[in-house]
Structure 1
Amino acid sequence: MSVRWTESPSTTDPSLLRLGDCPPSSITVRPGGSEAVFNAGFDGCSFRRLVTEDGIVFEKELTLMASSKVSSVISLVVCEYERPVDWSPPLYDPVTFHTSGQGNLLFHMNLMNDDLSGVAHSTTFSLGSLISITATVEQAFHQPLVLLLEECVASTTPKLAQDSRVHPIISNKGCLTESKNTKSRFLPRRNLSEIRLSLQAFKFAKGEEVYIHCKLVAWDPDVMDSGKKACHYDSQSRSWVLLDDPSKSALCTCCDTHCRTRRRRTMGKSLAQPVVLGPLTIKD
């Protein structure tokens, strides 16, 4: 969904606009007017989905945040399209979608198309191509949390066992180890409740069904340390870079050794959930 909001003359701070729980993708402020643009997938921003016999409707309010923490509704945003004959809810499609819940949190993980505008239509990738993956957490009325990918491995089985063949992707408390010698990297966030990964297709288990097993962690964004982070390797600077704040990339220096979470009295409790994405196939 793409939503463009304009106001002329400008009387509103566009950075305070929210589509569901998503901030604007871009903001433009000019003399005499302002504009906010939202680009959102239907699996994010807490969209409501209504499925009828003939159509599928996604809707959410466009709101303005207020200092009183009570948002005012500007407009109801609705996107409706004809329901395909063979359509079924993504929740029941194990090929490209995973959903699981913990408490009042709901975790999602998807294989996406190249521009991340929607769920991928194919699960077959050429060796060396880029695989786009998005993970999100719906927080309902929970305090704001940042979503992290703490561990990820590829395997040839939907369930991990001691004798499972595995290929490490993310390890050491959020280090994208696959980025050390490939083009794999984390992509800039659109909001804290989402993390996006561009993963270069690897040689592991070519031609076989591959499953990606990840541990998703929802965490207090104000309490980040070397044990709760998202880091990828930058080949130009030859150093590890922190996704959310490159100026604090010192938190990533342990990626080549061993990363630990520092114990603090103020540290909040992490909410973790294992997810499995797949199967997908990598071919020459």
Structure 2
Amino acid sequence: MLGRRCPPVPRLCPGCLGRRCPPVPRCALGCLGRRCPQPPFVPGMPRPQVPASPPFVPGMPPPQVPASPPLAPLPQGTVGQLQDSGSVQQQLLGPVKELTWKYPEMPVEPTSPPVQFQLREPVSVSSVAATCDENMVHVQVKKDLFGSGELIRASDISLGGCGVTGEDSVAQLLYFQSYLQACGSQVVMTNDTLVYSFSLTYIPTAASNTSAPIVRSSGAVIGIECHYLRFHNVSSNALQPAWIPYAATKIAQELLVFSLKLMTDDWQFERPSNVYYMGDLIHFEASVKQYNHVPLRVFVDSCLVTPYPYAASAPSYLFIQNHGCLVDSKLTGSSSRFLPRTQDFKLQFQLEAFRFQQGDTGSLYITCVLKATAAASPTDAEHKACSFVGQKWAGAGGEDQLCSCCDGTCGSRKARDLTSVSDSMWEKEVSVGPVFIRD
């Protein structure tokens, strides 16, 4: 510094009780051998011994100043002999605790136990049925089209652009009816057949009564085909003679086969088991196979239930009577009814399972009288299928006006006992049983 005084360096003197001592000037190496001023005297404090500075010799390196030793902390409770500001702060604030802070760690999510889960695979459902006659096609569609419980709207489905022609709100069914050359049909001719093809198209739309633009079903296109033999007459009906020779009756009777079967809940197959529980619906399907005969329409004229395999046993319950009136739903409030007819040679109905109050054997035997008429013949009071649904009578084929007689007497003929069945080719007694009912 070429002789200039160095800036004062503050020190902490012993006995100052934490107060800063007056600055003590020092001489730098450039003081040119002059004595530095002495620090001011503090009472009770010995004067520091300042060694004399060596004389300055040109060309001689400056002396090395030894580094100050590190300051040791004072023991707890010691007053005086403070060495630096850190020691004073330690004495005033107390002992310094060891730092225990560390970086926070992310919480560990508990691992869940293994879950037994299997993805449900979609299964095919039978929700569309079609019937082809001489010049028209009849299509029946379940509102639960995909078997998922979501019902479709009639406005979202069409047959080749043609809308729904009928709807059953009880059975949740939609009906289409179209001529073979209408509703966008396409015809293909092969060597032996004519094939009419239709497209049943379902396009889901959002509900109009909500602002949510979502749908919960997928669109679908279902193909429907009607096959006809090219070398087969399908346009004319046979004439019914006023009298039927005995020989013709016996031949025709051998060609007609009546049947009454227990069906599965989806009506697709014959049920392999005849065991039911109380409250179950027993599904029956009556049919007639016509072979070389003219097209026929089958009816269930009457049905009797007994606990034994013969119709004359007691007790007994006639749940279909009066030429096709299913009275069980009216008498007991059950869900028994005829299903809407989809094919003339087939008729389906359901009976809610029950047991006899007296004489119960745990089994039921059902004996029915089936009748068949020409499909071209109109229905009448003696050829009908009526159910009591919604506090009124309704026909399975739409013949509601013929069902009004179910509360009285239908037809001019007397009621026929099941044991006296005619030998006519149009009528046959068939039985099903035993049907076991479990609690």
The answer to whether the superposition gives a TM-score over 0.5 is yes
Select 2:314's aligned residue among 148, 153, 164. 164
Q: Aligned pair in 2 of structure 1 residues 155, 63: CA closer, same or farther (>3 Å)?
A: same
Select 1:197's aligned residue among 336, 339, 349. 349
Equivalent residue for 1:241?
A: 394
- Deviations along 1:197-216, one digit per CA (max 9) or x if unpaired, are 11111232655221100000
- Please say if residues 307 and 361 of structure 2, whose CA atoms lie closer than 8 Å, have aligned partners that are also in contact: no
Shift in Å, 1:102: 2.9
Equivalent residue for 2:218?
A: none
Q: Does 1:230 align with 2:385?
A: yes
Q: Aligned pair in 2 of structure 1 residues 225, 104: CA closer, same or farther (>3 Å)?
A: same
Q: Aligned pair in 2 of structure 1 residues 254, 270: CA closer, same or farther (>3 Å)?
A: farther
Q: Does 1:218 align with 2:218?
A: no
Equivalent residue for 1:89?
A: none
Tell me which stretches of 4 or more aligned residues in structure 1 moved more than 3 Å: 14-18, 22-28, 30-33, 65-68
Equivalent residue for 2:304?
A: 153
Distance in 1 between residues matched to 2:405 and 2:234, nearest whole Å: 41
Q: Aligned pair in 2 of structure 1 residues 220, 121: CA closer, same or farther (>3 Å)?
A: same
- Deviations along 1:177-225, one digit per CA (max 9) or x if unpaired, are 1121210011122210000011111232655221100000001342311
Equivalent residue for 1:182?
A: 334
Equivalent residue for 1:64?
A: 228
Distance in 2 between residues matched to 1:251 and 1:102, nearest whole Å: 28
Shift in Å, 1:261: 4.5
Shift in Å, 1:276: 0.5
Equivalent residue for 1:115?
A: 266
* Residue type of the alignment partner of 1:274: E
Equivalent residue for 2:194?
A: none
TM-score, with normalisation over the residues of structure 1?
A: 0.63
- Please say if residues 23 and 191 of structure 1, whose CA atoms lie closer than 8 Å, have aligned partners that are also in contact: no
Distance in 1 between residues matched to 2:351 and 2:385, nearest whole Å: 14
Distance in 1 between residues matched to 2:409 and 2:308, nearest whole Å: 28
Shift in Å, 1:135: 1.2
Query: Equivalences for 1:8-47 in 2 at 5 Å?
Result: 16=132, 28-30=159-161, 34-35=198-199
Structure 2 residues not aligned, in runs of 5+: 1-124, 142-157, 162-182, 186-197, 201-225, 236-251, 414-423
Structure with higher Rg: it is: 2
Secondary structure in 1 aligned to 2:160? strand
Distance in 1 between residues matched to 2:380 and 2:231, nearest whole Å: 29
Shift in Å, 1:260: 1.1
Distance in 2 between residues matched to 1:108 and 1:125, nearest whole Å: 21
Same amino acid, percent of matched pairs: 31
In proportion to residue count, which structure has more strand?
1
Distance in 2 between residues matched to 1:207 and 1:148, nearest whole Å: 30
Q: Aligned pair in 2 of structure 1 residues 117, 228: CA closer, same or farther (>3 Å)?
A: same
Question: CA RMSD for the aligned pairs?
Answer: 3.6
Distance in 1 between residues matched to 2:255 and 2:425, nearest whole Å: 13
- Please say if residues 207 and 283 of structure 1, whose CA atoms lie closer than 8 Å, have aligned partners that are also in contact: no
Distance in 2 between residues matched to 1:127 and 1:164, nearest whole Å: 21
Distance in 1 between residues matched to 2:412 and 2:349, nearest whole Å: 23
Secondary structure in 2 aligned to 1:217? strand
User: Larger relative contact order (C-alpha < 8 A, sep ≥ 6)?
Assistant: 1
Secondary structure in 1 aligned to 2:273? coil
Q: Aligned pair in 2 of structure 1 residues 32, 251: CA closer, same or farther (>3 Å)?
A: closer
Q: Does 1:126 align with 2:277?
A: yes
Shift in Å, 1:108: 1.4
* Residue type of the alignment partner of 2:394: V
Secondary structure in 2 aligned to 1:251? helix
TM-score, with normalisation over the residues of structure 2?
A: 0.42
